[in-house]
Amino acid sequence: MTRTILGIIGGSGIYDLPGLSHAEWQEVESPWGEPSDAVRVGMIDDLQVVFLPRHGRGHRYAPSDINYRANIDVMKRMGVTDLVSVSAVGSLKEELSPGTFVLVDQFIDRTFAREKSFFGKGCVAHVSLAHPVSPLLVEAIAAAARAQDIPHKQGGTYLAMEGPQFSMLAESHLYRQWGCDVIGMTNMPEAKLAREAEICYAGVAMVTDYDSWHEDHGAVDVATIVKTLHANRDKAQGLLLQLCKALPREHSPCPIGSDRALDFAIITAPEARDPALLARLDAVAGRVLNAS
């Protein structure tokens, strides 16, 4: 069995993780460029935790400016087996009111200005994303939410938009017609890259507002979002602490194969692979590349 190392990517309003013992900020270099920030590494009980603020401390990076590849590569280099992504979202359904946490299990990717894969010319790979989140990790998060009495919905579709502007009214109505539950700017391509890196991934979408579709709420404004962010932050920290205490210390094989996603994904013949790209893939795909 593999020892569990929990990675946490904190979104808007979550720039640190209280409760870690023996904690320190560590700079981790990545061949994919600069990650959002250093990682904060520490222990909760006997579980190693690696925390990364997605936007950087002080919220320095807009969603389109985040180096998602470097962030996921750093998590892989730190040995992360299970990754929880926490993010602020808008609600596309009446019953998902501000303060509700949605444990998403599907995504629709409408982003267009981001690098979405570690692979490409010189080493082509196609991973499965039919089920983009790890069910065992989602179950553990749901149990933690119940223990903390946090209003939540298990399952839901996250519409990832490019941003940084909030959605127009027509867009908001369209996404509701598609059956989406929440709308955000950061879980894509994060979830795709985590799958390529063979890290079990799950998203906690914290509702801060109703999107622009809601006639009683009108245009989304930052002041309202920030107020709800503070309340959500406290709940999220309780949720994560509960999860850390309860998460199994041995990583069980993912039932949907998240942790073996590259077994049959790489198409390029060994003799045709670009050595420079392979060098950058040492952490993400080293398990399969070193065996071929």
Domain locations along the chain: 2-289
Please name the fold of domain 2-289: Rossmann fold (3.40.50)
Q: What is the pLDDT of residue 60?
A: 96
Closest CA to 239 of 275, 276, 203: 203
For residue 98, is the peptide bond before it cis, meaning its omega torsion is within 30 degrees of 0?
A: no
Contact 172, 211 (CB under 8 A): yes
Low-confidence ranges of the chain (pLDDT < 50): none
Widest Cα–Cα separation across the chain: 61
Q: What is the pLDDT of residue 63?
A: 97
Q: What is the pLDDT of residue 222?
A: 66
- 55 marked among binding-site residues: yes
28 class by beta-carbon count within 10 Å (0-12 exposed, 13-18 middle, 19+ buried): middle
133 class by beta-carbon count within 10 Å (0-12 exposed, 13-18 middle, 19+ buried): buried
Contact 95, 214 (CB under 8 A): no
Spatial separation of the C-alpha atoms in residues 292 and 272, rounded to whole Å: 13
Q: What is the pLDDT of residue 217?
A: 60
- 209 marked among binding-site residues: yes
Active site residues: 209, 211
pTM of the shown model: 0.96
- 185 marked among binding-site residues: yes
pLDDT digits (tens, 9 = 90+) for 266-285: 999 999 999 999 999 999 99
Q: What is the pLDDT of residue 221?
A: 63
SS3 state of residue 93: coil
Q: What is the pLDDT of residue 228?
A: 81
Q: What is the pLDDT of residue 12?
A: 80
Spatial separation of the C-alpha atoms in residues 268 and 124, rounded to whole Å: 6
Q: What is the pLDDT of residue 219?
A: 57
- 145 marked among binding-site residues: no
Contact 85, 188 (CB under 8 A): no
- 23 marked among binding-site residues: no
- 268 marked among binding-site residues: no
